[in-house]
A and B are shown apart, each in its own frame.
Chain A
Amino acid sequence: MHILVCVKEVIDPEIPSSAFRIDAATRTPDVAGAAYVTSVFDANALETGLKLRDAIGGTASVSVLSIGKKSAELILRKALGCSANAAVLVADDAIVEPDPAGIATTIAAVVRKFAREGKPVDLVLTGRQAADVEHGQTGGMLAEALGWPALTFVSKMHPTADGIEARREVEDGHMLVHARPPFVVTITNDETNQPRLAKVRDVMMSNRAKIPAWSLADLELTPADVTPRVRILELATSTRENRCEFIDGDSPAAKADTLVARLRELKLV
C-alpha cells in the first residue's frame, strides 16, 4: 500500500487580524516576518496516513508531496521527521497563482509518474481545505482527474479484510463508508489525527534526506495544462470595528448580574 499525502505550505493562519496585510498588486498576504507552516488539515491528513500505514504494516509506505516554492522543503522535512517514508517537491515558475484545477492536474501527474516508476499510488490524502485560501476543491477535482472515487471529510480510516473503512463527518453525525483502493480522501480533524511530535533521531535523519524537486516538464505537463479557471480580481483585508465592554464586579455573581442586566437592556435574552 503506497499512500501519498499532499501538504501545502501556508502563511501562519494564526496571524492576528490586526497584523494581517495584503499586497494589493500581487493579491497576496504581505506580513513581515510571518511564519510559514503546514496547512492544518494537511497535518491531520499526514497523521491519518501514518496511522493507516502502521495499521496495515508490511511494506506499506507514506510519501509526502508539496507543490509550491522551494521553501516548502521545510514542511516536507518536517513530515519526514514524523516518519513519512519519502518526500517530493513540485516547484515550477509556471505554476503562478495556482487554482485548484491546476493543482489537481499536477498531483494527478505525480501519481502517474510514480506509477511509471514502479511505485503505484493506492491512496491520495489531502486536507479538506487549505488554511489560507480555503478552497476545499483540490481533493474532489483530483479524484476526477484520476478517475478514482473520492471520500470527503474523513476523520478515521481502518484496514478491513477487503479494503478500507472510512468515517465521514457530516453535519448531523457521521457515516461509515467501505471502499477499495485506489481512491482519494480529504481529511478533517478529530481527536485521533492530531499531528505527532517528531522524534529527535528522525528529525536529524530528515535533515539529511534528499528531496527530489520535479518541474512540470518532469511530470509531462505544460504550463497550458495548469491554466487557472478562476482569477482573484481583488483581495482586501476585512475590517471589523469593535469595542468590547468589559463587565466588572466585586464577585463572579456580581459580574453575572451586570451581564444579565446589560443583555436584558438590549433585549438580547
Chain B
Amino acid sequence: MKTLVVARSGATFAARKMILAARAAGYPVDVLFFGHSDEVGAFADCGAGEILTWNGAALETHPSDAALAMLETVCAQTPRELILFAGDSAGRDWAPRLAWRLKAGLITECIGWSEANGRVAFRRPVYGGKAIATIVSDTPVTIVVVQPGTLDAPEAAAAPASAVRTLVDDVAVLPAWPQVTERVTESGTGPALTDARIVVSGGRGIGSAENFALVEELARALDAALGASRAAVDEGWVPATLQVGQTGKSVRPEVYFAVGISGASQHLAGMTAAKNVVAINTNGDAPIFGVSRFGIVGDYKEVLPPLVSRFKELLGN
C-alpha cells in the first residue's frame, strides 16, 4: 500500500515509529513534514522514499486550515492508499477533516494492524480499553490515526537515504477566521509526561490544589513526570495538560504511581500501557488495585512523606 506519513515539528518520534512500522509491513512510504527541513534528519534511517517539508507561516495562525490545504494538495498530486497521522491534538484535528475531503475511511486511536486475505484490519481499543475492535475500511483511501508509542516497529531501517523536497508553494487564500491569536506553553519542570520512565499521578483523593504539592514532591524525588486524573483537572487543581486518560494523555512508563486515584475506566484507558502500577488509596476495594502490581491501602498524607524521604536519600533528587 502506498503510504503517506504526516509528521510535524516537535513530534518526530511518533512519526518515526509510523514510518518504520509501515516500511516493516513492506509499504512504500513518503512523509509530509510540517516544519523546517533542518529537522527531517530524524527520519534519515527510517527508509522513507520522499520527505516533503512545508513550513508556511500560515501554520502559526491557521494551524488547521493551512495544514489541511497542503495535505489536500499533496494527496491530489500523488494518491496514496494509506495515510497515517500521529494521535496528538494536531493529528486528531486534521484526520477527520481530510478523511471527509478524500472520502476516506478513518480509523482513530489505532494500536496496530495486520493483513488477512489481502485486506488490512486495524486494531483499536474502545469502551475505555475494555474491548478491542478490529476494523476494516471499505474505501480506496484509508486514513489512520495512531496512538503514539503503540506500534511495533524496528529501531531503524536499512534503506537508501530519502529524497528531501521542500515545498515552497503557498496554500490558497485562507479565511480570516478562525485565527490563532495567542499560544501559551505550560511546560512543567520535570520530564515530559508521555515519554517519562516514571509517572506520579494524583486524583480526586488528593482533596485540594494545595495538597497536590505532596504529589509533586514525590514526582520530584523520583525525577518523574507529574500527571493527574480527570477528576483533579475538573476540580481545577491542576492544568488540563496533566490529564492522563481516555482523553488527555496516554502514558507508558515503567512505573506509574496512582495516588488517590480510584481507577475510573476513563483514567485506566490512558495508563493501560504502564508496566508497573503502584496504587495508594484509602479504599482497598478501589478498581485501581485491580491493575496494580503494588498497593498500599492508606492515607496518602501519611504514606507519601516517608516515601518521599526514602527516595530522596536513595536517588539524591
Contact = CB atoms under 8 A, between A and B. Distances in A.
B93 A263 contact: no
Contacts of B136: 230-231, 233
A144 B136 CA distance: 23
Main secondary structure of the interface of A (DSSP, over half): mixed
A214 B184 CA distance: 43
Contacts of B106: 100-101, 135, 137, 229-230
Interface in A221-269: 228-238, 240, 242, 244-247, 252-253, 255-257, 259-260, 262-264, 266, 268-269
Interface string B176-191: 0111111111110000
A229 B139 contact: yes
B26 interface: no
Given A178-B177, A237-B131, A269-B311, A188 B255 contact: no
B306 A163 contact: no
B88 interface: yes
A137 B99 contact: yes
A141 interface: yes
Contact of B310 (A145, A230, A236, A256): A256
Nearest to B223: A269
A150 B310 contact: no
B128 interface: yes
A66 interface: no
Contact of A246 (B121, B290, B295): B295
Interface string A80-113: 0000000000000000000011001000000000
Contacts of A136: 92, 96, 108-109
Contacts of A14: 264-266
A128 B137 CA distance: 22
A13 B126 contact: no
A268 B272 CA distance: 18
A141 B97 contact: yes
A235 B121 CA distance: 12
B301 to A, nearest CB: 9
Interface stretch (B17-25, B28-36, B39-47, B232-240): B232-240
B93 A144 contact: no
A189 B183 contact: no
Contact of A16 (B100, B230, B234, B287): B287
A67 interface: no
Interface string A181-197: 00100001111001000
Pick from A233, A252, A266 the residue with the most CB of B within 10 Å: A252
Interface residues of B, number: 93
Interface stretch (A51-59, A114-122, A167-175, A201-209): A167-175
A135 B108 contact: yes
A40 B97 contact: no
B291 A163 contact: no
**Which range contains the number of A residues in contact with the other chain?**
35 or more
B127 interface: yes
Given A247-B296, A255-B298, A257-B310, A175 B180 contact: yes
Contact of B93 (A150, A190, A240): A150
A129 interface: yes
Contacts of B180: 175-177
Interface string A134-151: 111111110111000111
B234 A268 contact: no
Interface string B275-305: 0101100001001011111111111001101
Interface stretch (B49-57, B164-172, B241-249): B241-249
A189 B178 contact: no
Contacts of B107: 230
Pick from B279, B296, B298, B315 the residue with the most CB of A within 10 Å: B296
A137 B108 contact: yes
Nearest to A44: B234
Nearest to A190: B240
Contacts of B284: 246
Given A152-B93, A171-B89, A172-B186, A189 B314 contact: no
B224 to A, nearest CB: 9
B135 interface: yes
A132 B266 CA distance: 10
B253 to A, nearest CB: 10
Contacts of A259: 278, 294, 296, 307
Contacts of A133: 126-127, 133
A180 interface: yes
A268 B276 contact: yes
Contact of A191 (B121, B235, B299): B235
Interface of B: 63-65, 88-90, 92-93, 95-97, 99-101, 103-109, 121, 125-139, 175, 177-187, 194, 198, 222, 230, 233-236, 240-241, 246-247, 249, 254-255, 264-266, 272, 276, 278-279, 284, 287, 289-299, 302-303, 305-307, 310-311, 314-315
13 contacts: A14-B266, A40-B266, A101-B100, A133-B126, A140-B96, A172-B186, A183-B178, A238-B130, A245-B295, A246-B295, A252-B306, A268-B276, A269-B315
Smallest CB-CB A-B distances: 9 pairs: A140-B96, A191-B236, A179-B178, A144-B100, A256-B306, A252-B302, A229-B105, A253-B306, A173-B186
